[in-house]
Amino acid sequence: MSQYVTFDLNDTLYGVEVSWVQEVLRPHERTNIPRSPTTVAGLVNLRGQVVLTVDLRTRLEMPPRPEGVDPMMVVVQVGGEPVSLLVDRIGDVVGADDDTYAPPPDTLDTATRALVTGAHKLDDQLLLLLDVERAVT
Amino acid sequence: MDESQEIVREFLVESYENLDQLDRDLVALESEPGSRALLSSIFRTVHTIKGTSGFLGLTRLERVTHVGESLLVELRDGHRLMDQPTTDVLLSLTDTVRAILTSVEVTGEEGETDIDAVIAAVEAIQAGAAAPDGASQDVPVEAATTEDAAATTVDETIGAYETTDELSAEQAAGSFPDEAVQAAVAAAVGVAVETAACDAGPQKRTSCRVVKPISAKVPEPHPATETPLEETGPTTEPVRSAAVEPAPAEPATPKSASAKSAPAEPATPKSASAKSAPAEPATPKSAPAKSAPAVPSAGGPAKRPVADAVDTGGRSATDTTIRVDVDVLDALMRQVGELVLARNQISRIAQGSAEQELVRAAQQLNLIAGELQEGVMKTRMQPIEHVWSKMPRVVRDLATSLGREISLEMIGKDTELDRSLLEAVKDPLTHLVRNAVDHGIESPAERVAAGKPAKGTLTLRAYHAGGQVMVEVRDDGRGVDAEKVAASAIRKGLRTQEQVDQASQQDMLQMLFLPGFSTAEKVTNVSGRGVGMDVVKTKIEEIGGNVEIESAPGKGTTCRLRIPLTLAIMPTLTVACGGDLYAVPQVNLVELVALDAAKEDSGIEYVHSAPVYRLRGELLPLVSLVDVLGVQADAPTVIAVLQAEGRRFGLLLDRVVNTEEIVVKPISARLKSIGLYAGATVLGDGRVALILDVQAIARTSLLVDVTSADDALSRAVDSASLSSEQVLVVGVGGHRVAMPLASVARLEHVATDAVESVGGRQVVQYRGTILPLLHLGAVLGAAPEKASDELLIVVYSNGHRSVGMVVDDILDILDDDVRTHSDVDDSGLVGSTVLSGVITELLDVRAAILAADPSFYDETSGDPYADLVGAIQ
């Protein structure tokens, strides 16, 4: 059984295995990086450390976050470095057994499918598992 | 990492340090052949390595060091005098040891390093001048016997202790074997405390450590051992006396050994003149080594007092230092950085508060955090001596091979700079030293002829100045002739005659640092391969420093490196652009110029759409930070005049915010590859700011070399004569070809692999359109362009159509006087002219372009190129 930190993106539930996640934070002030790839949403000061932020909405080629929705920061450790992921809303930590696992559904669009390693069929909805390493590059 | 690996690693670290010491000592010894202190130090070093390698089962290393040790024994005992062949052989021995260590480090094995050659060389030296009393032949035999003897000694020694009342059971027998073994491991590992002062072998370190508490508790060992010594005085059996009294036995102490075994020496007062049994010269030195693994505690209990006595000549300062992993320091540094930021927040809260107590506490915190930060910074600082220590050897070897006589002076060894910088400075500095020896200092004969002392002086000097570290390499050699440098730069096509004419002496000397420059008339294996000085410059600039050279012909040359104190903290100018803050390293900043925004014409002029500013009569090319970053912003109010990559340019900014010392944080490679940012930092208010990479901006934003652009721009503004026209001079397959500048839209670099093929023609994608390429070389029938990964393209535009002409070099922008034209022409050319003293061909632009794009002129009604071509004709 694996534990996942879950979050919403464009009304879809995504999950990242807890071992990746360092912390979940309210949004910090971000510094723009002109000429950077569009998926990079700036740099934040995380207790003195400069951390890159990736907006998962742009990464997954979703429409921009509607006005009034303040993104949350999920800080993950990838390759020994923290990277902050912007999500719409943070959910619960969910445990899922292997028997609910399924490969990525065919109905996903290509951009999403490239970043999703699989899905868990939860009781009420589908939990898409995010490929963290790929998402931050 | 498992424990044995850990031990080996520590052994390597320690041995490398020891080898550096060895290099220094050997070179120093040559000028001071009789120095007993140096010989002892060398002996101890070799002996330590030998002892530990035996312990770790590194047999080849042990063999090499053993041979070296036996040669050193002869030297130390005065049976042989230090001369150059001996030094050479010992240095090569050091190199062999280093090679083996490297192999151990890399592969974990000793590898196949050739040790026989050096062993043979040492033996040859020994055979070549056999010691008068034949001691060298005796060595192995003696050693063998002593080994047994020593082994026995241990048992007896311990036995003796058990029965000695002066030491309690706990101090002596009870705890010895175990502790000794542990300590032997610890010593081999070289843990923390460097006990070099208390002398050579690991077994001896052990001794020191084990014994310390004991000797502290038992103050009498000294007198105790002396008495019996006098009693046993006349005996000729050292081993026996050792068994009885550990202290005088001391076979292991080199100091006492040297006293003992040099019959000619006046015997030292207490160390056993009695024992100096002339029959046994080899005993004392070979015994300790041989018995290393077996006898960790041999001299143990007794050693301390003797070691103390010997201390004065040793490296006692190291007793107070400990070795700390750099990672730990880095972590500390980071945490202090965070503390400082937290402090800044508290300070801000306190500022707005009326509560006196909070204000006072905040001030206190401010002070402490500042001091802590400074303290932690200091832990990363190391004296420059770490780098310099290799120089005597480098200079000596080079001077010998080149037949120079050089004395090396080092001033300011204690000047400290950050560890990582020290590492980065090493190679450039070595290169400069080699250069000075090879090119700077003349041969003795030449020097005498010039009225200078035969021995040249090479001075290394380091000092702090203005928050930076200055490192100078100065020689009193022949100096550098600036004119010659300039002439050579012209010959190599690195500079034009015109540029040189305008250059100052200092500018000419700086040409030494141009890529591809080398003044050496012949290439030696030392220097002069043309890769040197520009690499020095690049490396120093990488760490935010710079290089200057000064020279007086006949008097000498000084190279001065300016290095920041630390990489971690950088003085910067914080500037605002488009609502965000950016940091500009102050090392690049020359001056700030305020633009008069109130005036209609702010002083910015345009030359072919390129903005320039007249700064004290010179035209300064401008780069707009807004354009560079592609952000929206208000009109610029300030020009920051920056110097990078040998160019000076102005960066247009919204406004200057502050000067601030910032802590540099690395940014991910993804962001670095944008080519605009050198790093990021957290400002005092907690905001993140990006550090601009001024070098990279200069590279990408300024296409034409500034000196020539400058010329061109001055001309563009100043000359409006009708009889002349601006032409762009390019190099194509060895030809100089001029084309009218008016229609040149841009100069671009395009990666070779971006070139695609459409309908048999080469094209590149350029600003969202397809740009057909025209290889000028092919049109002119000249040799094809030089192969490289980048194509240099002159973009010609006509209406909305463009064509890219591929050329080798952009040489210059010049005024073309129509009256000097001749009509010597060829295919693709309309004639030739003389430009700055060189015959230059004028390109028939229309014909050339039609060759690339036959329909180029179709859509446009008038033909602007016809006029241009006409003008030239």
Least confident span in B20-34, B250-264, B611-625: B250-264
Integer angstrom CA distances of residue B760 from B756, B771, B852? 10, 14, 11
- CA-angle at B835, arms to B829 and B836, nearest 5°: 160
Residue of chain B whose Cα is closest to the Cα of A35: B629
**Other Cβ atoms closer than 10 A to B866:** 12
Contact predicate B562/B553, CB 8 Å: no
CB contact under 8 A, A35 and B630: yes
Tens digits of per-residue pLDDT, B805-831?
Answer: 888 888 777 766 655 555 554 555 666
Whether the model pTM is above 0.90:
no
* DSSP 3-state of B731: strand
Does any CB of chain B come closer than 8 Å to the CB of residue A27? Answer: no
User: Hey, what are B149's tokens?
Assistant: 């003897």
Give pLDDT, residue A87: 94
Q: Give the amino acid at B591.
A: E
Tens digits of per-residue pLDDT, B77-99?
Answer: 777 777 778 888 888 888 888 88
Residue of chain A whose Cα is closest to the Cα of B344: A48
Å between B794 CA and nearest CA of chain A:
25
Please name the residues between 549 and 608 in chain B that touch chain A, using a CB distance below 8 Å: 578, 580-581
Q: How confident is the model at residue A128 (pLDDT cuts 50, 70, 90)?
A: very high
Give pLDDT, residue B785: 56
CB contact under 8 A, B688 and A36: no
Q: What is the ipTM of this complex?
A: 0.91
pLDDT (mean) for B526-531: 44
Contact predicate B507/B524, CB 8 Å: no
Residue B548, φ and ψ in degrees, nearest 5: -125, 155
Contact predicate B811/B841, CB 8 Å: no
d(CA B63, CA B50): 8
Does any CB of chain B come closer than 8 Å to the CB of residue A34? Answer: yes
Give pLDDT, residue B299: 38
d(CA B802, CA B856): 8
Å between A68 CA and nearest CA of chain B:
22
Tens digits of per-residue pLDDT, B676-694?
Answer: 888 898 887 778 999 998 8
Instruction: Tell me which chain A residues have a C-beta less than 8 angstroms from the C-beta of B686.
Output: 45
Contact predicate B116/B47, CB 8 Å: no
Give pLDDT, residue B129: 54
* DSSP 3-state of B693: coil
Does any CB of chain B come closer than 8 Å to the CB of residue A37? Answer: yes
Examine the pLDDT at B281 and tell me if it is beyond 60: no
| DSSP character at residue B228 | H
Examine the pLDDT at B314 and tell me if it is beyond 50: no
Contact predicate B391/B433, CB 8 Å: yes
**Other Cβ atoms closer than 10 A to B370:** 12
Tens digits of per-residue pLDDT, B318-367?
Answer: 456 778 887 888 888 878 877 877 787 788 788 778 888 898 898 899 88
Give pLDDT, residue B790: 79
Residue B639, φ and ψ in degrees, nearest 5: -110, 125
d(CA B245, CA B305): 13
pLDDT (mean) for B39-58: 80
Nearest Cα neighbor of B703 from B805, B792, B632 is B792
Instruction: Tell me which chain B residues have a C-beta less than 8 angstroms from the C-beta of A52.
Output: 667-668, 670-671
Tens digits of per-residue pLDDT, B824-863?
Answer: 545 556 666 666 667 777 777 777 777 766 777 665 444 4
Q: How confident is the model at residue B264 (pLDDT cuts 50, 70, 90)?
A: very low
More confident: B630 or B608: B630
Examine the pLDDT at B718 and tell me if it is beyond 60: no
Residue B700, φ and ψ in degrees, nearest 5: -85, -30
Contact predicate B437/B397, CB 8 Å: no
Å between A47 CA and nearest CA of chain B:
6
Tens digits of per-residue pLDDT, B437-465?
Answer: 888 888 899 899 988 898 899 999 998 87
d(CA B314, CA B19): 16
Integer angstrom CA distances of residue B82 from B29, B162, B238, B365, B455? 8, 45, 29, 60, 21
pLDDT (mean) for B202-212: 37
Mean pLDDT taken over chain B: 69
Give pLDDT, residue B460: 93
Give pLDDT, residue B321: 73
Tens digits of per-residue pLDDT, B66-80?
Answer: 888 888 888 777 777
Give pLDDT, residue B458: 92
Percent pLDDT > 90 in chain B is 3
Instruction: Tell me which chain B residues have a C-beta less than 8 angstroms from the C-beta of A78.
Output: none
Give pLDDT, residue B262: 39
Which range of B253-257, B477-481, B660-664 scores highest in mean pLDDT? It is B477-481
CA B287, distance to chain mean position in Å, is 42
Examine the pLDDT at B571 and tell me if it is beyond 60: yes
d(CA B603, CA B606): 10
